[in-house]
Structure 1
Amino acid sequence: MKNGTFHIKLTEAIYNSQACYFLHFYSKLAEETIIDKLKCLQWSDEHKQYYLVQKDMSLHVLFSELRKLGCYVDYSKIKKKTRPKREQIKNPVQLPKLTPRLKYKLDQFERWMLEKRLSKNTIYTYKGVTALFLRYMQLKKAKEINALWIQRFNHDYVIVGDYSVSYQNQCINGIKKYIDFCSMDVDFELLERPQKPKKLPVVLTKEEIKTLLEVTHNIKHKTLLAILYSGGLRIGEALAMHITDVDSKRGLLFIRNAKGKKDRYTLLSIKILDLLRHYYKQYKPKKYLFEGQHGDRYSNASARAVFLRSIKRAEITKQGITLHTLRHSFATHLLESGTDIRYIQELLGHKSPNTTMIYTHVTESSLKKIKNPLDELY
Structure 2
Amino acid sequence: MPKNDTDIHFVKGITYARWNQNQFVWEVPHYPGNLEKLKAYFGDRITLIEKDEVINLNHVAKPTIEKDEILIIQTQKNRLKLLFAYVPELIKHIKTIPYSIWDTKNKWWTIPYSEQFLGEISQVAKRLGLKITFEKEPPKKQGINKLKPKEAAYYKTCPDTYLNKLQELRYSENTVKSYVPLFEEFINHFPKEDLDSLNDRHVMEFSRFLVTERKVSTSYQNQAINAIKFYFEKVLGGKRKLYFVERPRQEQTLPTVCSEEEIKQILSGIQNIKHKAILSTIYSAGLRISELINLPINAIDSDRMQIYVENAKGNKDRYTILSKKLLELLRGYFKKERPHYWLFEGAGSTKEKPVQYTSRSIQQILKKALSKTKITKHVTVHTLRHSFATHLLENGTDLRYIQSLLGHSNSKATEVYTHITTKGFSQIISPLDKLDI
Relative to structure 1, the CA distance from residue 150 to residue 308 in structure 2 (aligned partners, 3 Å threshold; closer, same or farther) is same
- Provide the residue aligned with 1:150 in structure 2: 203
Contact 1:95 1:135 in 2 (8 A): no
Q: Is 1:292 matched up with 2:346?
A: yes
Give the Cα–Cα distance (whole angstroms) in 1 for the partners of residues 271 and 196 of structure 2: 62
1:111 to partner: Cα distance: 0.7
Residue 192 to residue 322, structure 1, CA distance change in 2 (3 Å): same
- Counterparts of 2:397 and 2:220, CA distance in 1: 36
Cα pair 2:319 2:405 within 8 Å, conserved: yes
Give the equivalent residue in structure 2 for 1:220: 274
Is 1:254 the counterpart of 2:308? The answer is yes
Does the 8 Å CA contact 2:267/2:280 hold for their aligned counterparts?
A: yes
Q: Which segments of 5 or more consecutive residues in structure 2 lack a partner in the other structure?
A: 1-137, 350-354, 430-437
Residue type of the alignment partner of 2:322? L
1:339 is the counterpart of 2:392: no
Q: 1:311 corresponds to which residue?
A: 370
For the pair 1:116 / 2:169, whether they are aligned, the reply is: yes
Closer/same/farther in 2, CA of residues 370 and 196 from structure 1, 3 Å limit: farther
Is the 2:143–2:216 contact (alpha carbons within 8 Å) kept by the matching residues of 1?
A: no
Unaligned runs of 5+ in 1: 1-54, 73-89, 372-378
Structure 1 residue 236 displacement after superposition: 1.3
Shift in alpha-carbon separation, 1:141–1:294, aligned structure 2, 3 A: closer
Distance 2:339 2:299 in 1: 13
Q: 1:226 is aligned with what amino acid?
A: S
1:329 alignment partner in structure 2: 387
How far did residue 119 of structure 1 move? 2.2
Counterpart CA distance in 1 for 2:428 and 2:198 is 53
Q: 1:58: Cα distance to partner?
A: 5.6
Structure 2 letter corresponding to 1:309: K
Deviation at 1:144, TM superposition (A): 5.8
> Which region of structure 1 is more displaced relative to structure 2, 300-309 or 154-163?
154-163
Select 1:204's aligned residue among 258, 269, 283.
Answer: 258
1:195 paired residue number? 249
Cα deviation, 1:267-286, whole Å, max 9, x if unaligned, reads 11112222111111011111
Shift of 1:249: 1.5
Structure 1 match to 2:409: 351
- Normalising by structure 1, we get a TM-score of 0.67
Instruction: Specify whether residues 184 and 270 from structure 1 end up closer, same or farther in structure 2 by C-alpha distance, changes over 3 A only.
Output: same
Task: Report deviation, 1:57.
Answer: 7.5
Hey, what's the Cα distance between the residues in 2 that align with 1:123 and 1:226?
28
8 Å CA contact retained: 2:394, 2:423:
yes
State the match for 1:76 in structure 2: none
> C-alpha displacement at 1:304, in angstroms?
1.0
Q: 1-side partners of 2:245 and 2:285: how far apart?
A: 39
Provide the secondary structure at the position in 2 that maps to 1:360. Answer: helix
The structural deviation recorded for 1:127 is 3.4
The answer as to whether partners of 1:96 and 1:139 remain within 8 angstroms in 2 is no
Alignment size in residue pairs: 285
Contact 1:204 1:325 in 2 (8 A): yes
Which residue in the other structure is 1:169 paired with?
222
Aligned residue in 1 for 2:159? 106
Q: How big is the shift at 1:185?
A: 5.0
- Cα gap change, 1:120 to 1:136, in 2 (>3 Å): same
Larger radius of gyration: 2
Distance 2:178 2:275 in 1: 31
Change (3 A) 1:147 1:310: same
2:21 corresponds in structure 1 to none
Mapped to 2, the partners of 1:329 and 1:309 lie a distance apart of 19
SS in 2 for 1:364: coil
C-alpha separation between the residues in 2 aligned to 1:282 and 1:106?
A: 46
Q: CA RMSD in A?
A: 2.9
Which structure is richer in relative contact order (CA contacts within 8 A, separation 6 or more)?
A: 1
User: Relative to 1, partners in 2 of residues 1:191 and 1:325: Cα closer, same or farther, differing over 3 Å?
Assistant: same
Aligned partners of 2:392 and 2:402 also within 8 Å: yes
Contact 2:143 2:213 in 1 (8 A): no
Q: 1:156 to 1:95 in 2, by over 3 A?
A: farther
**What aligned pairs does 1:176-191 form with structure 2 within 5 A after superposition?**
176-180=229-233, 181-182=235-236, 183-184=238-239, 186-188=241-243, 190-191=244-245
The aligned counterpart of 2:320 is 266
Contact 2:286 2:389 in 1 (8 A): yes
For 1:159, the aligned partner's letter is: T
Residue of structure 2 in register with 1:239 after alignment: 293
Provide the C-alpha distance between the structure 2 equivalents of 1:220 and 1:297, rounded to a whole number of angstroms.
14
Q: Whole-Å Cα distance in 2 between the matches of residues 157 and 333 of structure 1?
A: 38
More helix by share: 1
CA-CA distance at 1:170 after TM superposition: 1.9
Partner deviation per Cα, 1:290-316 (whole Å, 9 max, x = no partner): 111211112211111111111221322
CA distance in 2, matches of 1:142, 1:213: 51
**TM-score where L is the length of structure 2:** 0.59
Provide the rounded CA distance (Å) in 1 between the counterparts of 2:211 and 2:184.
14
**Distance of 1:245 and 1:257 partners within structure 2:** 12
- Over 3 Å counting, the alpha-carbon distance change for 1:137 and 1:245 in structure 2 is same
State the secondary structure of the residue aligned to 2:311.
strand
Contact (CA 8 Å) 1:106, 1:131: kept in 2 or not?
Answer: no
Counterpart residue identity of residue 166, structure 2: M
Instruction: Call closer, same or farther: CA 1:144–1:276 in 2, change over 3 Å.
Output: same
Q: Are the structure 2 counterparts of residues 145 and 369 from structure 1 closer, same or farther at C-alpha, using a change threshold of 3 Å? A: farther
